[in-house]
Chains A and B, each alone.
Chain A
Amino acid sequence: MMLKITYTAVLRTVLFSSMATLLFSCAEKDKKAYSNTSEIPAIQEMTAELTSPPYVPTPVGKRKAKKLIVDMEILEQEGEITNGVRYIYWTFGGTVPGSFIRTRVGDEVEFRLKNHPDNKLPHNIDLHAVTGPGGGAESSFVAPGREKVFSFKTLNPGLYVYHCATAPVGMHIANGMYGLILVEPEGGLPKVDKEYYIMQGDFYTKGANGQRGLQPFDMQKAVDEHADYVVFNGSVGALTGDKAITANVGETVRLFVGNGGPNLVSSFHVIGEIFDKVYVEGGDLINKNIQTTLIPAGGAAIVEFKVDVPGTLILVDHSIFRAFNKGALGMLKVEGEENKKIYSGEIREGIYLPEGPGIQTMPSTTEVAESEIPAKSMAEKMEFGKATYMQTCFACHLGEGQGIAEAFPPLANSDYLNDDVDRAIDIVLYGLTGEITVNGKNYNSVMTAQTLSDEEVANVLTYVYNSWGNSKKEVTPAMVKSRRNESIK
């Protein structure tokens, strides 16, 4: 009897320990670290989720490496680069930048590249995440109305640019053929609250910045690297107003930022934030507490920051004329509770006059070229006026004329504006410095003189007067001209 019990106990122990060993070995197998990422097995098949900017697909999380099918269609199509200016974009997936591709290390990506039959040109794709000749370009050269399939294994984690590499390469990229592919490490990137996809690109048009109509690509300007537009996500205003990206106070935001070029290097900066983390150039190296990070053409970076106070953060290329004059400006709207400890707002305001008062003026040429196409109707005046507004006034007075509290007065429902039309014209022509009261609030700021033609001033003021609850005055070029003559007297 005694012996029997012992025997059973022993048996149990043996069984238990062998089970434990089994369990343990299973767990160990799961955690097996591959010294070489090319050895990671890809089990099962899955179709990749592709997203249009500024959105990104679901994180890979803990999923295993898979055979990932990426279906990408190339479309040559017309779009708007800024109000009234149309452009033929060449796109991966119908957007600039192209669809975001999210993979994990060890995935076997089967890439199916389709060139729409209506397209004019052959295209291909070079993914910087590919280890192989041409980054896939050699195997993906596809004529209109055809499909090419090739596959590759993602060996190195990181954020990578993809682009078209068909001759003339520069032109294909300049027309918008670029995007980002993310290769997450095993287990995925750390969780954050919000993720967005932003990509800068420079554009070269036959007409100058703002010139209306369908603008063809200008090869000479591209060769000379004289960009007419430098924009985020393919067009001026792709990330402003209603299209601004959003977050709530206390959330951590991760931006996947790429630069398609073709020529310019981006000094990516978010006005009003400090990057807690930057994955430098999209690789493993993490730098902390960064104000501005450099993103090379054909390169990318991941930036992360926690938003602590409400307000609108402005995303810019800090080569700053590109932001305020060529379009490289986006917005991140943060909603939530104020935190006066972190940011007080204005506390007090006083006079500081070390050298006596003076009016700031910008050096300007006195002759301003008249706009080539005069507005023929009120509708056109509004349309052209809005275009000028978005290029010239928008940065300070914002999309709905709401202005910025304590800094730039509102144009919406503005008593100061509606009181005196001549004064309004003068301000646009000659600028304004010093204290004014608008809708009961004091502003003490500087607006510089604007170099606009009479026609443009008339259109933009008509637009402002006929928007946002203002007095619906119509300003004519003759009125502007008479104010100019007034000042000469």
Chain B
Amino acid sequence: MSPLAFLRNSWRWLTSMRTALILLFLLAVAAIPGSVLPQRSVKMEDVRGYFDANPKLAPVLDRLWAFDVFASPWFSAIYLLLFTSLIGCVVPRLRDQVRALRKPPPDAPMRMQRLPAYAKLDSHPEPQLKGWRVRRREHPDGTVTIAAERGYLKETGNLLFHTALLLVLVGVGIGTQWGWHANRLLVQGSDQAFCNTLQQYDDYGLGPRVSASDLPRFCLELNDFDVSYEDNGVPKFFDATVNGGLSFSVNRPLRLDGANVYLLGQGYALEIRYTDAQGRTQTTVSPFLPVDGMLTSEGVAAFPDANGSDKTKQIGFEGLYLPTASMGRSTHPAENDPQLILLAYSGDLGLDAGLAKSVYTLDKDRLKQMGEAKILRKGESWTLEDGSRVEFLGTRPWITISVRHDPGTPIVLAGAALLVIGLPLSLYGRRRRVWWRLHPDGSAEAGGLPKTDYPGFAEEFARLTRCPTTSS
């Protein structure tokens, strides 16, 4: 076989409906592992958890892109082949449809009695053909034919639907290339404000064509966070106010120029003041992370500068915060009876080792516990054995936000809208043709051809030809 013939055959195979069906099924099957196995793009922590639980299997799966299914070469290969097949199918049909729309309906076939619908008429009819594309032709032998066709919208809708799919793909591609997102935790107060630069985020992802300098410039300061709960602790309502009056919430993002800000989570940050034995005072605002729906929260307060420059005398506290305390845990997320349980440690906090450290846990390798755990209420203080003092000053709300920009969204939205418009046209439209042949002797015949599955065609044909019975 010549290479050209091979290419032609491959193309024919690729654009055949059978191949398209197989590819559709492959795509559906290929998506299943993406829901069964944890995905990096969905929840990074779950992937780490899977690696811990299956240390042998996970690396093997990882080599098969099992944790990045939707970005994997095999998933991409399926949908790219499918879209190639789609283009190969749509382009010739688009050409045919443009041609059909510009051409009048074809002339009546010679033997009309072989059409699925046929009628003999006694007189020359004047059919009511509103909405039909009609062409009347006079032939040299004296007969006149009327050709009528309608239902072009079916094919137009079908092409619109498939083109819209391509548009969605383009939009998704643009979003991946030029989009970016970043997340961080933001505590209330002007001292906690941040500006939109990558260093200020806890984590971020930039599209391949975005650089750090492309990020729009803005700063955010959380002024107020409003939340109310049902009696059983289920949240009723959230509202965050930033930059002196801009408000946003769940389902109601803050739309800034070039980025949107989404509210993802909330919790309490604890204001703790520590006064060392020499009388030097330090205050921290430490966000505590919730461990349950009632906002039982854990966190740490670290004072590396306590007791001068001696690194072995640094002070850190481990804390458990209970907004509504009852038997060592919180029973409601609102601050009805707040308690802070603190454990004090002294020693080397290990903050200067240059390693990335979580700000939510203490590295206790070189720390020594001081005394027993102590319960504090707001405003209370605790004097430790070395004469230093710790005070629980109060709490501030914090929120986690996601800042995102996806320039592909409007294109995907337009594609989705066209999909939804094209589908019904394609599924419910009915292309059909009807012809009349008027003979010079005064008799006439009519024939009809539904080009697509159309159960009601017989009735329509009977109505058009004003003839109670039809035969074939």
Partners in one complex: no
